[in-house]
Amino acid sequence: MKDMNKKQDSDLQKRLPAFNIYLIAASLLIIVIGLIVMYVGPDSEANFEPDIFSDRRIIVAPIIILIGFLSVIFSILCPRFKR
């Protein structure tokens, strides 16, 4: 019986708290926003879109995505706060 309680306690300690899950969800939303900013519509040889070389798609969107991935790492490694 004590072995089962120890196993359940160790399983509970391995889980992420709800706060971390919310941080991960917000981080994934940031990544999706970065991908939407980077999106370039359909392109063909007949319809060349020079906007693919804009600063928003080359500089800003990758930085947003990088911030999203770094915040995912932070939200996983974020310490568990005791109330």
pLDDT digits (tens, 9 = 90+) for 48-71: 777 778 888 889 999 999 999 999
Q: Is residue 57 included in any domain, yes or no?
A: yes
Segment 4-29, tens digit of pLDDT: 666 655 655 667 788 889 999 999 99
- Domain assignment present for 28: yes
Supply the range of the domain harboring residue 71: 19-39+50-83
Is 0.75 topped by the overall pTM? no
Place of tokens 């568990």: 80
Domain count, the chain: 1
Inside any domain, residue 83: yes
CA dist., res. 59 & res. 22, Å (int): 27
- Could you tell me if residue 29 is inside a domain? yes
Instruction: Identify whether 27 is part of a domain.
Output: yes
Please spell the DSSP secondary structure of 20-80, one letter per residue: HHHHHHHHHHHHHHHHHHH------SSS--GGGGSHIIIIIHHHHHHHHHHHHHHHHHPPP
